Amino acid sequence: MPMIDVYTPENLFPADAEKELGTALAHAVLRAEGVASPSPFHLDNTAVFIHRLKATDIHTGSTNSANNVRIQIITPPGALNREGQKQITKEATEIVARISGDETLFKRTWVILTEASEGGWGLQGTAFGVEEFSALAARAAAAKAAQEAIKE
């Protein structure tokens, strides 16, 4: 159940790009976590926050109005292995370049991967760690199996 923050100049993406950007990034991070077929549980709990900033709010050492994108992806403990880290960094960068219509953005997109500390992820009023996430995943899998059994 990752959380994604995208910080971008307000005019970099088309005015109606939020839905496409949010959906594409949410699915990309779930794939990187190894979730091939996300359930409603996964999709309802993967959040994307898009922060459109004034152009003058983004700086580099060479400009006071940088045309860069910063994507921070926060995941529960152990959710991404090394291959998953490489995959989501590449996919997230490709997604923002494609949706912006500016392929040069590939060079100006920063992806920051942050893993919550053990017990440092709050959901449903509980500080989750590996034990709590494992139990939650087991309940979700059992509910999915029960739904599939009903369909048969």
Query: In Å, what is the CA distance from 117 to each residue of 4, 20, 74, 95?
Result: 16, 30, 10, 28
Q: Largest Cα–Cα distance in the chain?
A: 62
Q: Are 73 and 112 in contact (CB under 8 A)?
A: yes
Query: In Å, what is the CA distance from 36 to each residue of 19, 30, 57, 146?
Result: 21, 7, 37, 19
Backbone angles phi, psi at 140, to 5 degrees: -65, -40
What pLDDT is attached to residue 133?
73
Domain with 141 in it: what CATH number? 3.30.429.10
How many domains does the chain divide into? 1
Q: How confident is the model over 54-100, as pLDDT tens digits?
A: 988 888 887 777 788 999 999 988 889 999 999 999 999 999 999 99
pTM value is 0.82
Residue type, 37: S
Domain of 27? 3-151
pLDDT cut 70: percent of the chain above it? 100
